Structure 1
Amino acid sequence: MADQARELSALLSSAAIVMVGGIVGSAAQLAERVVIGRLLSPDAYGEVSVGLALLTVSVTVALAGCTQGVSRFIPRYDATEDRRGVWISGLLVAMPLSFAIATGMFHFAESIASHLFETAEAVTFVRLLAVALPFVAAFRIAVAGIRGYENTVYRTIARDLLDPGLRIGLIAALLLAGVGIVAAGIAYLLAAVITLLVAHYFLARLMPLVGEFRTHVPELLRFSAPLVVSTVVSILLTRTDTLMLGYFRTSYEVGMYDAAYPLAGGLLVVLSAFGFLYLPIASRLDAEGERDAVDDIYATTTKWVYVVTFPAFLLLVVFPEDVIALVFGPDYAEAARVLPLLAVGFFLSAAAGRDRETLSALGATTWIAIGNATALVLNIAVNLVLIPQYGFVGASIASVTSLVTLHLIICGFLAAKYGITPFSPSASRCYVSLPVVLLPLGVAASSVVTISLVTLVPFLVVAGLASLVIVAVAGGLEANDIVVLDLLEDTTGIDVPVVRRWIPERKTEAGEIGDSKSPN
């Protein structure tokens, strides 16, 4: 039990660091979209969104699932030669693929532009993204290596702060100079080059990058092969809507959809914070035969992702018009039509917790591929039916349908095969009580409250405190939650004995009641 609490404490401490960086990183990514949206027309913003979706899909294919493989295998080896070899193995797989895809994108840029874009600038834009692709792929492999060493600080600086920060600064400067949509291509290329160098500098501080090595390409490919499908499909689930909208409808509708989409996607920030150390910790626990500990950590982190994310979900569902106007301006008012729907899909994804990483840690990557492939087929089918007639509203319906299907499959297999589930009587009370109590109150408040720069933070603070009270009163707290409270008290230096009274006492292995949760 002490070991399990220690692992959970390490995970939560990491999550706190990554969450800060993740919030800043997500804010920077959103700011990037806002800068583009406000400095360009909705149509031009839609063009940029299609291009970035194309880059994301291409990078994911080039990585061939190796990022998770690198993060998983590095902590399983003790020798530096093996760990260095894992990183090199990732590069040996990803770099040839990235150069091949980049060459294809560059050569067929005119054809791609004619099918997905509406402006002549698109050809140059696509070619810039093609040149950036190998640099982005190598950067991701370096971050995967850092993740394998369970170092949250380096990852946060490189991926969440430096990379988006460089992009937003470059994009803003170039757009103000009148460069147009090509500004995004230039910014992504320059940012990728710089962050690639910085990430490898950080990785070199964790292990010497030059020296003897033992490659593990076969092991990496055996693990990553099912992930090639699952990770590509996973990204396609988030980008197919944008690409199909670009093909079937106008860039204006793409712009509306991609104004709502990143706002709803922000609901995954807390989930992402838990994810950085989750895979290597869960992998190590499984290798040591501590599967019950994996179950407990998965359940505890999932519940707190749900609780911490709920206030933001409430904001997007109840005040969509206010949020869109505040962030993107009146030109994007139509995006409020789909923001609540997309928020539901992303919130349910967050509420499923790190289900895919849990299966990866257990080595059951085939089922991740099955879940992702099923969801993608459904996504494409629904998009084909709904986008031609209903445009970006149909794309939103397809997105939510596929996300829910994906997590039903993954969570169902985790429960059936391994008995791992985020549900318990206490957690279930938490999951039910928050929407039952706060959604009606939020709807009632929307008639008298308007979300603005002045009211945004107070609303989230009040909703957050109300969420904690509701969970406590409903009996949603469990013994493992003491670790969360300990971290909060250690971080802030503030004791909260009142909250301790709501947390059940943990029994030791001998059956005695531990005194770590005494309310006094």
Structure 2
Amino acid sequence: MADEEATTEGGQEDLSALLSSASLMLFVGSLGSVSRLFERVVMGRLLDSPGAFGEVQIAFSIMTVSATIATLGFKEGIPRFMTRFESASDTRGAWVTGTSLSVALTVLVTIALLLNVERLAARFFEPSTPPELLLVFIATLPFFVGLEIVVAGIRGRENTIYRTYSRDLIYNVLRLALIVVLLLAGYGVVAAGFAYFVSALVAFAVAVWLFNRLFPIRGAFETRTREMLVFSFPLVLSSMVSILLAQIDTLMIANFLPSRQAGIYNAAWPLARAVGVIVSSFGFLFLPLMSRLDAGGQYEEINRMYKLTSKWVFVVTFPALLCLVVFADDLLLVFGPAYTSGAAALAILALGSFTSAAFGRCQDALSAFGYTRYIFAVNAIAGVLNVALNAVLITGYGAAPDLGITGAALATASSTVTLNGSALAVLWQKSGVNPFSRWTVRTFVLLPAVLFPPSLVLARQVTLSLPALIAFVPIAGIASVALLALTGSLQSEDEIPVELVEENLGVQVPLIRRYIPDEE
């Protein structure tokens, strides 16, 4: 009996830690998302045209794909192994192994890019694009990869705040400030490259310093090369596919269409990613927590935590989806009138991303359980599907219509749904873990059915300004929680997120508490 109570209390503590981390990561993730969005708005308005904006996004896509190859899946492998070891030498060895292999591969990838600069420029860029643009992004690659690997070590120590300082605040805020200053100074598209270079360098240095405070880098270590490669290699392939889902559209649009279309698409894409930011805010501690619970054989606790977090990811994410789909035209008008033609693409991308909220953190759970080969398989299927659909739908092939950037959005949304659905199916079959309970199903059905119709009516009647669009999201969030309360869709475990909100805001919300049932 005492053991059961201890297990329950431990589960409550883990869930509270996860939700506390999620609230912080949601806040800083929102800051990062807002800064990236503002960054793109600034570039969209201060650069000469959507074409110039598109050139910057193409260079960024090349760097991002290269970074995915260079990290070799250790962004996930490092935290997974660090949480499983108790001795400092084994824990340090996990980080040293991942870092050493990533550094070696980063050098090779950087050299390969430098040797092929002219070919890449001829394939993806307009003849008028300054050659320095791609070169500066290539120079940024080592520091960008270094930042990701050090943050993976911080994640492995289950620390949220140091990641916040280095990745979310310094890297994002400094980059945004530099872009504004350099563009106003007249440096053109190359300004973005310099901003990424300087911010990545500074953030990397700060992250190393913080990580060393958290866990001394110097010291005895036991390398885990074979063990980590077996785990991480499928992840680099699956991560590559994940990045392709995000970036292949830009590169294929750049290959088939003018850079202007890539610019319009990349105004829509970061807005749609707002959904992903909210979902990923629950993932920073999700993987190490799931890995630790799996090592302890606490499978019932894993399933309970998965269902509850999936429900609240859906609730927190839904207002953003509602705004992105219903007011897509109004949102893109922020970039300028030239960008509103991407409204259909924005709505489609947002709907595709939202499946991550409905299905839960299934890939993180599979990774925690060690099923990395299945992660690779589902990502490979989605990646092949994405490339094929992009090739067919962007320019039209056979009987398929020529849909341009809307076709690229359809390709990515279809691939994302396939990816998340396949990952959930594997997770459910292998472990029994799934997001569905009577509470989650009721939530998944009620919110869209009740809130979409009046929002669509409102969108037909008015055009919302940016402040009104921002205000719409929390209003929709309050309406969502109220709807769940009034329809009896709250459960006893919902007391945990309510307590978290009360602690952070310093207020009591008895109106919601009265609708939370007592634990059975």
TM-score after normalising by structure 2: 0.95
Task: State the SS of the aligned residue for 2:218.
Answer: coil
Matched-pair contact (CA < 8 Å) for 2:55–2:129: no
- CA–CA distance in structure 2, aligned partners of residues 426 and 79 of structure 1: 41
SS at match of 2:239: helix
Letter in 2 for 1:418: S
Cα deviation per residue 1:271-300 (whole Å; 9 max; x = unaligned)? 111111111111000000011111111111
Rounded Cα–Cα distance in structure 2 between residues aligned with 1:457 and 1:246: 32
Superposition map of 1:500-519 within 5 A: 500-507=513-520
Match of 2:212 in 1: 204
2:483 is the alignment partner of 1:470: yes
Q: Distance in 2 between matches of 1:57 and 1:400?
A: 19
Q: Residues 229 and 122 from structure 1, CA distance in 2 versus in 1: closer, same or farther, beyond 3 angstroms?
A: farther
The aligned residue for residue 374 of structure 2 is 367
Aligned CA distance change for structure 1 residues 457 and 133 (closer, same or farther; 3 Å): closer
Aligned-residue offset at 1:475: 2.9
Match of 2:361 in 1: 354
- Equivalent position SS for 1:338: helix
Note if 1:164 corresponds to 2:172.
Answer: yes
SS of corresponding position for 1:118: coil
Is 2:36 aligned against 1:23? Answer: no
Amino acid at match of 1:138: G
Secondary structure (helix, strand or coil) at the match of 1:494 reads: coil
Aligned to 1:189: 197
Q: Which runs of 5+ in 2 are unaligned?
A: 1-7, 396-401
Aligned position for 1:400: 413
What's the CA shift for 1:165?
Answer: 1.2
Partner of 2:497: 484
Alignment-mate amino acid for residue 235 of structure 2:
L
The runs of at least 4 aligned residues of structure 1 exceeding 3 Å deviation read 119-122
Contact 1:21 1:157 in 2 (8 A): no
**Relative to 1, partners in 2 of residues 1:454 and 1:207: Cα closer, same or farther, differing over 3 Å?**
closer
2:436 is matched with which residue: 396, 411, 423?
Answer: 423
Partner of 2:264 in structure 1?
A: 256
Identity of aligned residues (%): 44
2:458 counterpart residue number: 445
Work out which of the residue numbers 334, 337, 361 in structure 2 matches 1:330.
337
- Given that residues 105 and 126 in structure 1 are in contact (C-alpha distance below 8 angstroms), is that contact kept between their aligned partners in structure 2? no
Worse-matched range after superposition: 67-76 or 456-465:
456-465
Instruction: Point out where structure 1 has 5 or more consecutive residues left out of the alignment.
Output: 508-520
Q: Which residue does the alignment assign to 1:242? A: 250
Q: Are the counterparts in 2 of residues 428 and 476 from structure 1 also a CA contact under 8 Å?
A: no
1:32 to 2:45 alignment? no
Deviation at 1:256, TM superposition (A): 1.0
1:120 CA drift (Å)? 4.0
Cα deviation 1:171-218 (Å, max 9, x = unaligned): 222222222222222121111111111000110111111222222222
1:456 maps to which of 469, 476, 484: 469
Give 1:378's aligned residue.
385
For residues 369-426 of structure 1, what are the alpha-carbon distances to aligned partners after superposition, in whole Å with 9 as ceiling and x for unaligned?
1111001111111111111122101101101110000011001111112111101111
Match for 2:477: what amino acid?
Answer: G
Per-residue deviation at 1:501? 2.6
The CA deviation at 1:450 is 2.6
Q: For residues 422 and 475 of structure 1, what CA distance do their matches in structure 2 show?
A: 19
What amino acid sits opposite 1:162 in the alignment?
I
Are 1:429 and 1:474, in contact at CA under 8 Å, matched by a contact in 2? no
- Once residues 2 and 130 of structure 1 are traced to their aligned partners in structure 2, the CA distance between those partners, rounded to angstroms, is 49
The amino acid across from 1:2 in the alignment is E
Shift of 1:474: 2.9
Alignment partner, residue 82 of structure 2: 74
Answer yes or no: is 1:435 the counterpart of 2:477. Answer: no
Using the TM superposition, name which of 357-366 and 77-86 deviates more: 77-86
Aligned residues: 506
Give the structure 2 partner of residue 283 of structure 1.
291
Kindly tell me: are residues 457 and 34 of structure 1, through their superposed partners in 2, closer, same or farther at Cα, counting changes over 3 Å? closer
Contact 1:46–1:255 (CA under 8 A) maintained in structure 2? yes
**For each residue in 1:451-501, what CA deviation from the matched residue of structure 2 results, as whole angstroms up to 9, or x when unmatched?**
113422432232111101112233322222111111112222222223223
Shift of 1:122: 4.5
Aligned 8 A contact 1:42 1:251 in 2: yes
